[in-house]
Structure 1
Amino acid sequence: MQADKAKITRLLKTARGQLDGILKMVEEDRYCVDISNQLMATTSILKKTNAEIIRAHLEHCVKDAVATGNHAERIDEIAELLDKLTKS
C-alpha cells in the first residue's frame, strides 16, 4: 500500500472508536437520530479513508504502470473500482 499509513491508521482507529461509541449508544437505547448521526459521521470517515487509498493508488501504482507500459491491467482495475464506487 502506497498511502500514508499513519494517516490511514489514524482514520481507521477514529472510525473504530466511533463504532464502539455507537454500539454503546444502541445498548443504552439512545435516541435514534443521535445514533444515525454518529453512523453518518463514521461512514464519512470510512469514505475519506477509501478516497485516500484510491488517490495513493492512482498516484503511485497506476502512474508506475503507465510509465512501464503495463497500463491495460491498471485501467481495468480503475474501471472495476469505479463500478464498485457507483454501486455504493
Structure 2
Amino acid sequence: MKADRDKVVPLIKTARGQLDGILKMIDEDRYCIDISNQVLAVISILGKANKEIIRAHLAGCVKDSLTGGTPEEVETKLDEVMSVLDKMSR
C-alpha cells in the first residue's frame, strides 16, 4: 500500500473503536437515532481513509503505470479507479 500509514491507520482504528461502541449501544438498547448517527460517523471516517488510499494509488500506482507501463497496464489501472469511483458514488 502506498498510502501514508500514519494517516490511514489511525482512521481505521478510530472506526473500529466506533464500531465497538455501536455494538455496545445496540446491546444496551439505545435510541435508534443515536445508533444511526454513530453508524454515519463510521461511514464518514472510513470514507476519509478510503480517499487517502485512493489519492495515494493515483499518485503512485497509476502515475507509475502512465509513465512506464504498457497500454494494457494503463487501461487496467484506469478501470480499477473507475470501478472504485463508481462504488463511492452509490
- TM-score with structure 2 setting the length: 0.88
CA distance in 2, matches of 1:85, 1:11: 18
CA distance in 1, matches of 2:58, 2:85: 12
Which residue number in structure 2 is paired with residue 43 of structure 1? 43
Query: What's the secondary structure of 2:50's corresponding residue?
Result: helix
1:2, CA displacement in angstroms?
Answer: 0.3
Which residue number in structure 1 is paired with residue 31 of structure 2? 31
Counterpart among 76, 79, 82 of residue 79 in structure 1: 82
Which residue number in structure 1 is paired with residue 12 of structure 2? 12
Unaligned runs of 5+ in 1: none
Query: What's the secondary structure of 1:45's corresponding residue?
Result: helix
Q: Which amino acid aligns with 1:75?
A: L
Unaligned runs of 5+ in 2: none
1:24, CA displacement in angstroms?
Answer: 0.5
CA distance in 2, matches of 1:78, 1:12: 21
C-alpha distance after superposition, 1:33-77 (max 9, x if no partner) = 111111110110011111110111001111111010432221121
Query: What's the secondary structure of 2:36's corresponding residue?
Result: helix
Q: Which amino acid aligns with 2:18?
A: Q
Which residue number in structure 2 is paired with residue 63 of structure 1? 63
- TM-score with structure 1 setting the length: 0.90
C-alpha distance after superposition, 1:9-40 (max 9, x if no partner) = 10010000000011101101111111111111
In the alignment of these two chains, the number of paired residues is: 87
The root-mean-square deviation of aligned C-alpha atoms, in Å, is 1.2
Query: What's the secondary structure of 1:30's corresponding residue?
Result: coil
